Every structure is written in structure tokens, then in C-alpha cells.
Amino acid sequence: MKTKMKTLGIETSCDETAAAVVEDGSKIISNIVASQIDIHARYGGIVPEVASRQHLLAIIPVINEAMVEAEISWQDIDGIAVTYGPGLAGSLLVGVNAAKAIALAKKLLITGVNHLEAHIYANFLSEAKNLPSPLKGEGGERVSCRVSFPCLCLIVSGGHSDLVLMRGHGQFEKLGRTLDDAAGEAFDKAARILGLGYPGGPAIEQAAISGKPCLSLPRAWLKNSYDFSFSGLKTALWHLVQREEILANPPRVADAAASFQCAVVDVLVAKTIEAANNLPVKQILLSGGVAANKLLTQRFLNSSPIPVLVPPPHLCTDNAAMVAACGYYHFQTKQTSSYDLDVVPSLSIG
């Protein structure tokens, strides 16, 4: 094995066609993401058939661009890591088949990666930073920080909200999950109710800047459980918007966005901190698109008793660098896939 191992990551599980080259599971050499957001925005959400057709158009140019930007040839690549689930079947198929074809043609190792594990591994990239903890007397700039096991992982994306105990590489135990809507899905639906566009998370975050979290919305605490539930909150927002005719009053839309964001963040932070207090974990790792939310990271910063790692926003949302990072650790333990690798749209973690 070479001292510096280069992994090509490929990600097509949802609406981003992405390819990246990562060295030793940590250093990003290139990271290309072709987003379909503009195409799906006109429908207010992802249309699976449109997504898979777009992946087909973009996959080869995106992989080529990742190779060109990395200024390397195929002989420099040691293995290919590709997301094989969870996600949209038609979208996953494009990435998995592209990866298998290239692996066969270039005689490269291939490994199938769980998209949820990949989100966690965004924290192993050198760009992930440790939030300075005021509780521990730290201050100043975020600093790079190595992951220490065991750690607690909060994965909050458009499709999942999972609280996972990570004991070591590839060792995951699910502690909690959403019983209905994922946190990102709730943001997307709330933005739709408030007429704020798609994707909802960034739109709500932006609208909330000029609002106050002054409207009363419920929090599903689900006592004695690390599970989450966000669909009641979404329904409560819908009733509030109808009852108080909020859409006719832009400042109230901002207040509703701020109140909704606060309700989601309250629950995510409180449940994660509770788990961190009950378990012998050394760090909290945030990941998934919702981890790009500034209120969420700020609240963790203010209340976590242990260090909190979070990737920069562009590595919280879907990308292939996190897939390559996860794949690197598969290759370290000789965990490779055969050309039989198939997609598993309902794959879970732990």
C-alpha cells in the first residue's frame, strides 16, 4: 500500500451529482458538486425521475472534472468509493454503475458506502473544525481536531434524523431516529407553508434573521427516548399560519420562520446533549445538511459539555469528499465490494 492513498468518491443518492478525490481519508484534492436544486425548485421538491436523468447527464463530466482538478491520472487512484444507499433507487443506480464500470475498466478496487456513515465521515476531513467550547474555557477560532472514540453522532439531513453512537471505524449503534419527518424535511415543508421556496433550510434560516422566535410552537420531547418527531410541529405551524393569516404579513413570516427554526433546534440540541451526558462519549459529531444551520451550531457551542465537531457548510450537505473519506477507512480494513454491488435504497445505520 502506498503511503498516500487517493480515493475517488462518487455520490448520487439524491439531487447532487458529486465526485471528489481525497488523500488518506482527510485531505481534499478536488471536490465537485453539480446541484440540481434549480431544476427541482420549480416543483417545490425533488422529482425522482428528473433526478436520475440529470445524474445520467452529469456523472461523467463531474468525474472528469474531479480528476482534472486533482491534476492526477487514473494510475494515481487507489480505489473508488460509491454511495449505494440509502437514497432514491434511480439516482443511486447511476453512481453505482458508473463506479463499477470505471473500476472494471481501470482495474481499481471498489467499495460501497452507506450515505449516512459518509455524512459522519465529513468530520474526518481536515476541513472539519472543532467548535471552541466556552464551558471548557476555550475561545477564539475553530481549530482542526481529530475524532476521539467513542463519539456521539447527530445526522440531520433531508431524509434522516439519527442519533448514533460510534465506537470506532465502522462500529455504529443507533440510539434514536425520527418517527416521522426528518429535520431537513421539516424545514423544507415549513418553508413551503411559509412560501419561502426550496430548499427550505437555508430559506428559513435567511428569513429568520429578521424575525423573532416569539410565536408559540410545540416541541415533541418524547421523554425517555432519543427518538425525534417533527410532523406535529409542521402541522402546528400550518394551523398558526392559517389562523393568524401570517402570509399576508411579511414581518410575521419572519417571526414564524424564527420560531420554527428555534423549535427544531431546541429538540435536536437538548436530546443530543442529554445523550452526551448519559454516555461515556468524548465528542459530538454533527453532520447532514441541517448541521449547516448557524443557530444549531451556536446552540451546541453554548451548551455542550464536550467538544463538538462540525464540517463546514459545503461538507454538511451532500458531497463526494465525505464518501471518499468513509471509503478510505473501508479500504484500510480490506472492506471492498465485488462487481455485484447493488443499490439499497432503504439502507439504515447501526
Helix axes 250-278, 294-303, angle to 10 degrees: 40
Using CB under 5 A, count the residues that bind Zn ion: 2
Task: Work out the burial of residue 152: count CB atoms within 10 Å of its CB; fewer than 13 is exposed, 13-18 middle, 19 or more buried.
Answer: buried
User: 290 touches which of Zn ion, ligand KG4, none (CB within 5 to 8 A by kind)?
Assistant: ligand KG4
Beta carbons of 204 and 255 less than 8 angstroms apart: no
Nearer to ligand KG4, 259 or 317 (CB): 317
- Asked if 205 touches Zn ion (CB under 5 A), the answer is no
Nearer to Zn ion, 153 or 217 (CB): 153
Rounded Cα–Cα distance for residues 97 and 257 (Å): 41
Task: Work out the burial of residue 320: count CB atoms within 10 Å of its CB; fewer than 13 is exposed, 13-18 middle, 19 or more buried.
Answer: buried
Nearest distance from residue 184's CB to ligand KG4, in Å? 3
Nearest distance from residue 115's CB to ligand KG4, in Å? 6
- Asked if 157 touches Zn ion (CB under 5 A), the answer is yes
Amino acid at 173: E
Nearer to Zn ion, 30 or 157 (CB): 157
Nearer to ligand KG4, 301 or 306 (CB): 301
Rounded Cα–Cα distance for residues 299 and 111 (Å): 36
Q: Which contiguous run of DSSP H or E holds residue 28?
A: strand 27-35
Please give the backbone phi and psi of residue 128, each rounded to the nearest 5 degrees, phi first. -70, 140
User: 300 touches which of ligand KG4, Zn ion, none (CB within 5 to 8 A by kind)?
Assistant: none
Nearer to ligand KG4, 12 or 293 (CB): 293
- Asked if 185 touches Zn ion (CB under 5 A), the answer is no
Rounded Cα–Cα distance for residues 181 and 158 (Å): 9
Q: Footprint of ligand KG4 on this chain (CB under 6 A)?
A: 14, 157-159, 184-185, 187-188, 199-202, 205, 288-290, 292-293, 317-318
Nearest distance from residue 315's CB to ligand KG4, in Å? 10
- Asked if 318 touches Zn ion (CB under 5 A), the answer is yes
User: 79 touches which of Zn ion, ligand KG4, none (CB within 5 to 8 A by kind)?
Assistant: none
**Would you put residue 346 in left (φ > 0), alpha (ψ -120 to 50) or beta?**
alpha
Nearest distance from residue 238's CB to Zn ion, in Å? 26
Binding site for Zn ion (CB under 5 A): 157, 318
